[in-house]
Structure formats: structure tokens, C-alpha cells
Chain A
């Protein structure tokens, strides 16, 4: 199942690129257009990926139609902004999970630091 992650990406790309909600068949056609010949996924596979993505909170489905129509919950940019917010904001869980090239401090801490520096300079 090495390709599952890639397939999730392709499915999300298809949903992000579309202005309207798509059925699993629509998604499969759009993914197939960008796949190498013979590597296009089956509709059942796409359905599996779509429910995985739904569970993870990336995709929502309208259940009042048959077949179900799927759409992306947030745009790619919105997801990225949310991720960046988590990475940069001060949180001890985040700190334990990641290591950043240049660490950040919050506004409050930055002001405290500046005050400390000012005090040192004045002395």
C-alpha cells in the first residue's frame, strides 16, 4: 500500500481543483487523467481513499444525493495556514513534537526581552 499516500494527494488535488462537489467516479476520472496509462485507480479504491480523507477531516460528503458528492472542507491554502499557525505558535505539545531551524517567541516574550535589553543598555 505504498501508493496510498500519493493517491490521497491526487484525490485532494482533484477536489481542490474543482469548483463543484464531485462523485467518486468524477474523482477517479480526474485522477486517471493525470496518472500514467494503466496506473489509474479503480472507483472502489477512490471510495476507500475518500472515506479515509473524510475520517481525517479533509473531505465532507453530501448524503442527500445518489451517488454521494464529495468536496474539500478547506482549501489547500487554508490548511497550510492552519498548519503554519500550529508550527509557529507557542505550544508545549508542538515544542515536544518538532524542531525548528529558528525558534520563535510570542509577542509578550519578545516585549519582555526587549525591556530586559533596554534595562541592560541603560545601566
Chain B
């Protein structure tokens, strides 16, 4: 039991600090965003399970197994006294594990509920205010000068453009934008983003959660860019990005809440559209996928081994 707790503890520490720092600093992620996204998910899932699991294993050690600890501790909640084998440290560790699990789950639920509410409101307004775009079902155009394109994911989806954007872009660029948004919707990027946003909301003081959320958001943009590039080619996508990213200067965004296009994200998305950028070799991608799966599965295997 103590050995299992130690293994999980070391894994939790590795996934809480060095692994995400290395991944967020790596430059290869722009070459194979899907692979990098798999690694991020492995780190988040494996890290969370390892952290909770190590606390559980340590706290349950006096009973010899997780099930044993549950059967000896749970009845004494109501009838007391707590078995003497469990000291304050073990009980604190178990409480922390349960508290952390509940905290993470509640944050996931509340983040999902708030996102769903915001999406309903979006649909309500877009249905009334947007005009359909001929030849592009599910797309609405709002009458507003700031060039903006976005999509509303979920069970019911919508792609929304402003006529500022339609005026700014030529036909190929517009098709690139539509293909990009379509990719977000088809590939369910909102689910991955939701999980990482909930993780960040649950651990706001944890710098890695913030960094992970930013990295994952950028990777989903790159995946959507890849689809747009496959549909219309790199050139219209790049010019669309530059036009939308710079059209706001200096005044167009002024009335829209004091925001500007994010230059850092744009730069990284543009740089990888260069034809010299090639995906990682097949063996490297396979190795990363294996590592991602192993990272998520290891804590489960360790916990299963001490279950009974």
C-alpha cells in the first residue's frame, strides 16, 4: 500500500510540474497538434487520478486495501469509534482525497452548466438577429462592423459571422473561415476545452492549469486551421488570419469592450502555415500516443492492484 501511494505520489508530482512545463515549452506541438492534445489529456487525467489515488492509498494503508479501508471505516461514521489503526494523518489524507474528487467533479458540472446557459442565450439572440448566409446552412450573419467569426458548439450548433467580416474577406478566405469553424463543431473541441477550463476553475492558484488551458485552446485552433488548409489551401487561410487579426487596428474594436486580437496566438498559427512545417515522424507520434495512454492508465492499474 505505501509503495503504491509512493508510486502514485511521484507520478502526481511529475504530472503536476515538470511534464506540463516541458510540453507547454515544446515547439514540436505546432507540427502535430492532435498528438500534443492527446498528451495534454493524458497528463490532466493521469495527474488528477494519481493525486487523488496517492492520498487514498496512503490513507487506506492501515487496512491493507482500499475496499478493506472502506469496510472498516464507513460503518464507524455512524456508530464510532474509528478503528485505532487509522491515525489523524490517514484520516486527513482520505478526507483530502474525497474532497478533491468532489471539488473537481462539481467544477466540471458547474462549468458545463454555465457554458450551456451562455450557448442558449447565444442561440436565442443569433436566431433573431442573424440573417442566413446563402449556400451555407447553419451559418448566420450579424449586422456589425467589427470582423468576427465564431461558432456556438453543442447539440445544436451555429456558425456566426459579422458582415464586417464578410466585407473584409474574399470568397476563398471566407470558405477558410467557415471550414475552420466547422472543424471546431465537428471535432467537439468544446468538450476538451470545457474539461481544461473546469480544471483551471477548480485550481485557480495552480499556474500549470492556466498554462494547460491556454496550450489546449491554441492546439484546437491549430487543428481547425489544418482542416481549413485542407479545404482551401494555406494561402487564403493565412491572409484571412492576417486580415481579421489586423482589421481591428486601431479603432474598430474600441466600441466592443476594449479588446484586441491576440497577437501571440496569431503569430504561432501563422508560423506553422509555412510549407516547411512538417508533421512529426510517424514513430514519434506513435511514441507520444503510447505515452499519453500509459499516463492515463497507470494510476488506474495501480489503484486496481490495491483495491481488495
A residues with a Cβ closer than 8 A to B are 5, 8-9, 12, 56, 58, 76-77, 79-81, 83-85, 87-90, 92-107, 110, 113
Contact = CB atoms under 8 A, between A and B. Distances in A.
A94 B257 CA distance: 14
Interface of B: 111, 114-119, 122, 124-129, 142-144, 146, 148-153, 160, 162, 177, 180-181, 184, 189-190, 193-194, 197, 201, 217, 220-221, 224, 240-241, 244-245, 253, 255-266
Given A79-B129, A100-B148, A101-B177, A107 B260 contact: yes
A6 to B, nearest CB: 9
Nearest to A82: B125
A113 B125 CA distance: 33
Nearest to B259: A104
A58 B260 contact: no
Given A8-B128, A80-B129, A84-B144, A99 B189 contact: yes
B257 A97 contact: no
19 contacts: A8-B127, A79-B125, A83-B125, A85-B256, A87-B160, A88-B256, A96-B193, A97-B152, A98-B150, A99-B181, A101-B240, A101-B241, A102-B241, A102-B244, A102-B245, A103-B262, A105-B263, A110-B263, A113-B264
A84 B256 contact: yes
Give the interface SS of chain A, mostly helix, strand, loop or mixed.
Answer: helix
Given A56-B124, A76-B143, A102-B266, 17 more contacts: A5-B127, A79-B128, A81-B255, A83-B142, A84-B256, A88-B257, A89-B258, A92-B197, A95-B193, A95-B197, A96-B115, A98-B122, A98-B151, A100-B148, A101-B177, A102-B149, A102-B245
Interface centre among A79, A80, A102 (most CB of B within 10 A): A102
A8 B149 CA distance: 24
Contacts of A90: 257, 259
B259 A89 contact: yes
Contact of B142 (A9, A80, A94): A80
Contacts of A107: 258-260
Give the interface SS of chain B, mostly helix, strand, loop or mixed.
Answer: helix
Contact of A88 (B160, B221, B253): B253
Contacts of B180: 101
B260 A80 contact: no
A66 B149 CA distance: 44
Contacts of A89: 256-259
Contact of A84 (B148, B197, B263): B148
Nearest to A91: B118
